[in-house]
Structure 1
Amino acid sequence: MWRELIGRLYGDAEFAEPASDGEIDRIERTLGQEVAADLRELLLQSNGVRAEYGSGLVWSVQEIIKENTEFRQSADFAELYKPFDQLMFMGDNGGGDQFAYVRAPEVPAGDVFVWDHETDERERVATSLADYLERRAGSDGDDWYK
């Protein structure tokens, strides 16, 4: 399903080999957060997807772990930004802003947020992974969510 949807929306989509359940479970163990069901399904079909001139439409398991760990452990970021513990970054716009799931009681599971690297704002931009992919594809530029 995910490959078909993304292939239809993004003519330049680059797919990877599928991730395993064990690899995806490593995200949960490392970050202490459950991987959203739709993200898990996508990663089981393709371990990350690049599109729009190589930007991280959806990151690989390794990128999710690396980027989230760096954001959470950076002393510089701790001084500049609110904590990142509730976020699970999973993609980017190629210009510094990141897309994430938010794990908080008041946030519906599966909603996708953008983190603005200049303002530290965190704003809901989609109600699901499919909604995020469709909205992003239907835009004219990197700042479709503004």
Structure 2
Amino acid sequence: MWRELAMEFTDVELHDPAIAASLSDIEERLGQPIPLPLRALLTETDGIAAQYGTEFIWTSERILTENLDFRRSEQLKALYMPFDSLMFFGDNGGGDQFAFVRTPERDDVFVWDHETDSRTWISPSLERFLRDALASGGDDWYRQ
């Protein structure tokens, strides 16, 4: 389903599926389950990049690395509210990060604005998010 959805758009880069061990590693090390839609997507393609290399969906390795970095950085802890309730999974290429809220578990997609530390609802589902993001061509479509 996810590969077919992504291929509806031009200039989309897909990858081989993520391996199950990498998904388990994310859940174990972050202490949170991967949202089911994101897990399903990663089992079809380990990330989705669009025009100009914008990684709307990161690889499983980057999901783990970025989330650990956000949660462990003393510099970020001093500047921003805690990130433990979020699971970042992609970005806009300009510093804003896309995330699911994991405490409480929600399937909605939010954007974290790196300039204001705001966490704003942008989509009711990963599918709607991906369609909107890929149709936008990479601009900040979620600000409209």
Do the two structures share a fold, i.e. TM-score over 0.5?
yes
SS at match of 2:56: strand
**Structure 2 CA distance for aligned equivalents of residues 83 and 113 of structure 1:** 15
The alpha-carbon distance between structure 1 residues 137 and 16, as it changes in their structure 2 partners (threshold 3 A), is closer
**Structure 2 CA distance for aligned equivalents of residues 114 and 29 of structure 1:** 24
The alpha-carbon distance between structure 1 residues 20 and 100, as it changes in their structure 2 partners (threshold 3 A), is same
TM-score normalised by length of structure 2: 0.94
Q: Report the Cα offset of residue 142 of structure 1.
A: 2.1
- Tell me what 1:17 maps to: 16
Q: Report the Cα offset of residue 21 of structure 1.
A: 1.9
Say whether the 8 Å CA contact 1:95–1:142 is kept in structure 2.
Answer: no
Task: Determine if the alignment matches structure 1 residue 113 to structure 2 residue 116.
Answer: no
- Tell me what 1:46 maps to: 45
The alpha-carbon distance between structure 1 residues 137 and 28, as it changes in their structure 2 partners (threshold 3 A), is same
TM-score normalised by length of structure 1: 0.93
SS at match of 1:72: helix
**Structure 2 CA distance for aligned equivalents of residues 17 and 88 of structure 1:** 22
Percent of aligned positions that are identical: 49
Q: Which runs of 4+ in 1 moved over 4 A?
A: none
- CA RMSD in angstroms, aligned pairs only: 1.2
Moved more, 47-56 or 93-102: 47-56
Give CA-to-partner distance per residue, 1:62-89, whole Å, 9 cap, x none: 0001100111111110010000000100
SS at match of 1:112: strand
Unaligned 5+ segments in structure 2 are none
Unaligned 5+ segments in structure 1 are none
Amino acid at match of 2:120: E
**Structure 2 CA distance for aligned equivalents of residues 142 and 136 of structure 1:** 8
- Tell me what 1:134 maps to: 131
